[in-house]
Chains A and B, each alone.
Chain A
Amino acid sequence: MRDITYAQAINEAMSEEMRKDDSIIFLGEDIGVYGGAFGVSRGMIEEFGEERVRDTPISELAITGAAAGAAMNGLRPIVEIMFSDFMTLAMEQLVNQAAKNRFQFGGQGSVPMVLRAPGGSGTGAAEQHSQSLEAWVAHVPGLKVVIPSTPYDAKGLLKSAIRDNNPVVFLEQKLLYRVKGPVPEIEDDYSIPLGVADVKREGKDLTIITYGRMVPRCLTVAERFAEAKEADIEVIDIRTLVPLDKKALIDSAKKTGRVLVVHEACQTGGFGGEIVSTIVESDAFFYLDAPVKRLGGLDVPIPYNPQLEAQVVPTEEKITAALRELL
């Protein structure tokens, strides 16, 4: 193992798969010599050339659709959308075309593509560059949805996403790009299957179910509770929203009897509601010692002012308070 950043892990996953499979091409705005808006693809155009690492015009709809068309015709494209907010411009091709293709044509073809896009607040980029829109895409049958929280998961999950025969929306977390973590050596070709949650911390008193950049934050809070001998908290990282590892969530809820769901996205209509329903509709309901609680972002756009920005998503304080309510 060595420590690399989340961004580097993503770069390695793409590069290693591209070395092995020449049907993989990579499309996006400024992904070439510029290296992508967040530097994720640095060095890739030098290695793979302009045919495979293609700088595109600023045309989110066309590049997403072109990826779908190329996927229907034998390639395995990866698309980088500069900010996940701009999925809104690509939505038609993603939702009506890529996601529907196989079903609506009676199983004739498939659309093996990955749409990578960074989401989340915390960079001062304000309303139009900070959203967490995962619930939008998780709502669409035909799409798979992944949000990794560590370099290890990012690399392993992206490899699976690239090898998957379906359109996969791979949502990266801007604030995690520079975070380092242990990842196996390059020669060690590991992958992480989509649809398997990960217990990031074992505990017996309460389960936090979360994903993305809220994972490290919840872990910090859980450690504090352990140090203070206040509670032993389990932290589950769902890692993929679709497919969802329902069993892992239900089993943990049964074990601890108390559940807090945390995500950065606005609470109303957020994926947390889906997680809560998964638990309360199952037999875990009979094991619960407290109501299942959600802690999402406030139902407001992400504001610019840094103090405001920090306050509209679950903070350590808010998570702590929510835990105390449940314990």
Chain B
Amino acid sequence: MKLPKAVHKELYYKMLLTREFEQTAAKLFIQGKVHGTAHFCIGEEATGVGVCSALEKEDLITQTHRGHNQGIGKNMDINRMMAEFLGKETGYCKGKGGCMHIADFSVGSLGANGVVAGGMPIATGAALAQKYRKSEHITVCFFGDGAANEGAFHESLNLASVWKLPVLFVCTNNQYGMSTSIKKSMNIEDISIRATSYGIKGIALDGNDVVNIYQETKKAKEHVKEHGPMLMVLNTYRWMGHSKSDAQLYRTKEEVEQWKEQCPIKRHRAYLLENGIFTEKELDAVQQEAADAVRAAVEFAENSPEPKIENIFDDVYAD
């Protein structure tokens, strides 16, 4: 299946936008403009972008704490993302959630989660509602390799499989949960084999190949609609530390450098050039567009008001 040019552009742009967003966010940290923490997905852009770009707006996602690529993939507004990152009133959560809790129900994101595997039962329930309402849409549940060892993983996959719910479980295997290598946290190399225990289909993909991820997600969506849940593992790598503070004593520089050669953006760019889909000049322009958008987002966020303490009780309860 050859992808239309517009899809290639979308994938390339969203990956660049994610990287630009995070690199800028990291700079804002260094400048002391952000408090709290953030989890960057640089090196993993193809996962969230590839999967979410293959979805429709009405398809739902639950995101992880490392989910800027997922949100951008699902067409979230980076102005409001950046504003939330800076804790501003105009942010997605009115400055109350921060970047671990970004959500945009209007584009189908049921939110990022600060609890490892916290979104897994929620995604299962969202898919239950879809099935109950005979919706044509599915829910995609993102989680990490570390999350695959939580009880919520087992309970959710089992429940979704016995009820044949339309949920695609996407494991972003970046090889580590904080400092702990999957070699130490599980006795298997291929996480997708866990699908067998639930009687569902499991596949493992190169998590840095955005085109393939996009195509496989399209197929997975059809599978999920027809047969119920599926487990898709995207093997990739996190380039930066786990969060703001991480001396990275648990891995070697060589290992990081080796993975950097597999940069998903570089690989996509090479593919686009080799296949004559875009010229260097056109791709540079896309890159410029992403940089401009992020610059505008920072400006929007910095010029936005701080939330007011008078509104602190808003939204504790619904009416």
The answer to whether B159 touches A56, judged by C-beta atoms less than 8 angstroms apart, is yes
A68 to B106, CA, bound (A): 18
The answer to whether B92 touches A105, judged by C-beta atoms less than 8 angstroms apart, is yes
The answer to whether B159 touches A68, judged by C-beta atoms less than 8 angstroms apart, is no
The answer to whether A66 touches B118, judged by C-beta atoms less than 8 angstroms apart, is no
In the complex, which residues of chain B have a beta carbon less than 8 angstroms from the beta carbon of A64?
Answer: 121
Of residues 98 to 138 in B, which have CB atoms within 8 Å of A's CB atoms? 101, 103-106, 110-111, 113-115, 118, 120-130, 132-133
Most buried by A among B60, B97, B123, B315: B315
Of residues 77 to 120 in A, which have CB atoms within 8 Å of B's CB atoms? 77, 92-93, 96-97, 101-112
A180 to B224, CA, bound (A): 48
Q: Which of B150-158, B273-281, B289-297 contacts A (4 or more CB under 8 A)?
A: B150-158
Residue A65, interface by CB 8 Å: yes
**A-B pair number, CB within 8 angstroms:** 148
In the complex, which residues of chain A have a beta carbon less than 8 angstroms from the beta carbon of B318?
Answer: 102, 110-112, 165-166
The answer to whether B155 touches A61, judged by C-beta atoms less than 8 angstroms apart, is yes
In the complex, which residues of chain B have a beta carbon less than 8 angstroms from the beta carbon of A102?
Answer: 315-318
Contacting residue for B315 out of A25, A62, A63, A107, CB 8 A: A107
In the complex, which residues of chain A have a beta carbon less than 8 angstroms from the beta carbon of B155?
Answer: 57, 59, 61-62
Smallest CB-CB separation from B152: which chain A residue? A61
Residue A141, interface by CB 8 Å: yes
The answer to whether B316 touches A68, judged by C-beta atoms less than 8 angstroms apart, is no
The answer to whether A65 touches B156, judged by C-beta atoms less than 8 angstroms apart, is yes
Smallest CB-CB separation from B156: which chain A residue? A62
In the complex, which residues of chain B have a beta carbon less than 8 angstroms from the beta carbon of A71?
Answer: 125
The answer to whether B317 touches A166, judged by C-beta atoms less than 8 angstroms apart, is yes
Contact bitstring B307-319, A, C-beta under 8 A = 1, else 0 = 0000000111111
The answer to whether A105 touches B132, judged by C-beta atoms less than 8 angstroms apart, is no
A75 to B133, CA, bound (A): 9
Contacts known (A105-B92, A166-B318); A59 close to B122, Cβ less than 8 A: no
What's the least CB distance linking B244 to chain A, in Å?
A: 20
In the complex, which residues of chain B have a beta carbon less than 8 angstroms from the beta carbon of A142?
Answer: 316-317
The answer to whether A96 touches B125, judged by C-beta atoms less than 8 angstroms apart, is no
What's the least CB distance linking B167 to chain A, in Å?
A: 10
A208 to B130, CA, bound (A): 48
Interface size for A (C-beta < 8 A) is 43
The answer to whether A106 touches B122, judged by C-beta atoms less than 8 angstroms apart, is no
The answer to whether B121 touches A61, judged by C-beta atoms less than 8 angstroms apart, is yes
Residue B269, interface by CB 8 Å: no
A104 to B124, CA, bound (A): 20
Residue B96, interface by CB 8 Å: yes
Residue B91, interface by CB 8 Å: yes
What's the least CB distance linking B239 to chain A, in Å?
A: 28
Contact bitstring A26-64, B, C-beta under 8 A = 1, else 0 = 000000000000000000000000010010110101111
The answer to whether A105 touches B101, judged by C-beta atoms less than 8 angstroms apart, is yes
Smallest CB-CB separation from A74: which chain B residue? B129
The answer to whether A73 touches B101, judged by C-beta atoms less than 8 angstroms apart, is no
The answer to whether A65 touches B152, judged by C-beta atoms less than 8 angstroms apart, is yes
Residue B162, interface by CB 8 Å: yes
The answer to whether B101 touches A66, judged by C-beta atoms less than 8 angstroms apart, is no
Residue A67, interface by CB 8 Å: yes
Contact bitstring B296-312, A, C-beta under 8 A = 1, else 0 = 00000000000000000
The answer to whether A96 touches B316, judged by C-beta atoms less than 8 angstroms apart, is no
Residue B72, interface by CB 8 Å: no
What's the least CB distance linking B116 to chain A, in Å?
A: 10
Residue B94, interface by CB 8 Å: yes
In the complex, which residues of chain A have a beta carbon less than 8 angstroms from the beta carbon of B129?
Answer: 69-70, 73-75
Contacts known (A64-B121, A65-B122, A96-B118); A104 close to B93, Cβ less than 8 A: yes
What's the least CB distance linking A301 to chain B, in Å?
A: 24
Contacting residue for A75 out of B60, B101, B110, B132, CB 8 A: B132
A237 to B159, CA, bound (A): 39
In the complex, which residues of chain A have a beta carbon less than 8 angstroms from the beta carbon of B133?
Answer: 74
The answer to whether B317 touches A97, judged by C-beta atoms less than 8 angstroms apart, is no
What's the least CB distance linking A80 to chain B, in Å?
A: 15
Contact bitstring A146-190, B, C-beta under 8 A = 1, else 0 = 000000000000000000011000000000000000000000000
The answer to whether A57 touches B316, judged by C-beta atoms less than 8 angstroms apart, is no
The answer to whether B93 touches A165, judged by C-beta atoms less than 8 angstroms apart, is no
Contacts known (A69-B110, A102-B316, A105-B105); A97 close to B93, Cβ less than 8 A: no
A55 to B234, CA, bound (A): 33
Contacting residue for A92 out of B96, B103, B115, CB 8 A: B115
In the complex, which residues of chain B have a beta carbon less than 8 angstroms from the beta carbon of A69?
Answer: 62, 110, 121-129, 139
Smallest CB-CB separation from A66: which chain B residue? B125
Smallest CB-CB separation from B93: which chain A residue? A106
In the complex, which residues of chain B have a beta carbon less than 8 angstroms from the beta carbon of A18?
Answer: none
Of residues 39 to 87 in B, which have CB atoms within 8 Å of A's CB atoms? 60, 62
Residue A248, interface by CB 8 Å: no
Most buried by A among B97, B120, B122, B314: B122
A56 to B96, CA, bound (A): 35
Please name 12 further chain A to chain B contacts, defined as beta carbons within 8 Å, in addition to the given A56-B159, A61-B155, A105-B97, sorted by A numbering.
A57-B158, A61-B121, A63-B121, A66-B159, A69-B127, A70-B128, A75-B128, A93-B122, A97-B115, A105-B92, A106-B92, A108-B103
The 5 closest A-B pairs by CB, nearest first: A65-B121, A69-B125, A66-B125, A62-B155, A69-B122
**What are 9 pairs between A and B in contact, CB < 8 Å?**
A25-B132, A54-B163, A57-B155, A65-B121, A74-B129, A92-B118, A103-B316, A108-B106, A110-B318
